[in-house]
Amino acid sequence: MTDVRTAHTSELTGAELAAVRALMDDAFEGDFSDDDWDHTVGGMHALVRDGGELIGHGSLVQRRLLHGGRALRAGYVEAVAVRADRRRRGVASAVMEALERVLRDGAYEVGALGAADEAVPLYVGRGWQLWRGPSSVLSPSGLQRTKEEDGCIYVLPLTAKLDLDAPLTCDWRPGDVW
């Protein structure tokens, strides 16, 4: 029986956090850094279990995005992964459904995420929209373009009016900024 639970990082046990990290390491085939892990925690998690085993995960953390002269409260989706033997069975959709419920609770003006190519159909099918404008980061040394991220950023407009062709800037963090 599949069970979906949402919980803040502070509500997860050490064993649950270890299971999430193990899932990330497996799903990303060893390309999940300590910085990626740091981006995963500190917000809300959607955990999908089957028979008590963790088979899917995603988290939603608060970030600031600069757009149109405003700092927007963004719910940023991180660490969406499904165990390899459970892919293409609706687990990622269950994760996103749970995270989108949190997004729509009124705390955020926009949802945002950086999508891997293979995940784009999932996000687009759920109403997420490609950010077509240039991306950048507000780094400690000032505004820096993030051209390599252009075409990979998706947003879910909630209360903010967005011009998808205008510049979008994220707040600074170590590791991958988007």
177 within a domain of the structure (yes/no): no
67 within a domain of the structure (yes/no): yes
Per-residue pLDDT tens, the chain, 178 aa: give them: 689 999 999 999 999 999 999 999 999 998 999 999 999 999 999 999 999 999 999 999 999 999 999 999 999 999 999 999 999 999 999 999 999 999 999 999 999 999 999 999 999 999 999 999 999 999 999 999 999 999 999 999 999 999 999 999 999 999 999 9
Element (H, E) at 65: strand 53-67
32 within a domain of the structure (yes/no): yes
Q: Kindly state the DSSP code that residue 88 receives in the 8-state scheme.
A: T
Q: Provide the pLDDT for residue 30.
A: 87
Q: CB count, 10 Å around CB of 3?
A: 12
Q: Provide the pLDDT for residue 53.
A: 96
| CATH number of the domain enclosing 164 | 3.40.630.30
Residue 101, CA atoms < 13 Å, CB-side half-sphere: 13
Question: What is the β-pairing status of strands 110-114 and 153-157?
Answer: antiparallel
61 within a domain of the structure (yes/no): yes
* Domain span at 34: 2-171
How far apart (Å, rounded) are the C-alpha atoms in residues 52 and 64? 35
Query: Which runs of consecutive H residues, i.e. helices, occur in the chain?
Result: 14-27, 34-40, 91-103, 120-125
Q: Provide the pLDDT for residue 126.
A: 97
Q: CB count, 10 Å around CB of 111?
A: 24
89 within a domain of the structure (yes/no): yes
Q: Provide the pLDDT for residue 2.
A: 85
Q: How many domains would you assign to the chain? A: 1
List 48's β-bridge partners, or say none. 4, 56
Model-wide pTM > 0.85: yes
Q: Provide the pLDDT for residue 1.
A: 65
Sign of torsion over alpha carbons 28, 119, 162, 112 = negative
176 within a domain of the structure (yes/no): no
8 Å CB contact between 114 and 150: no
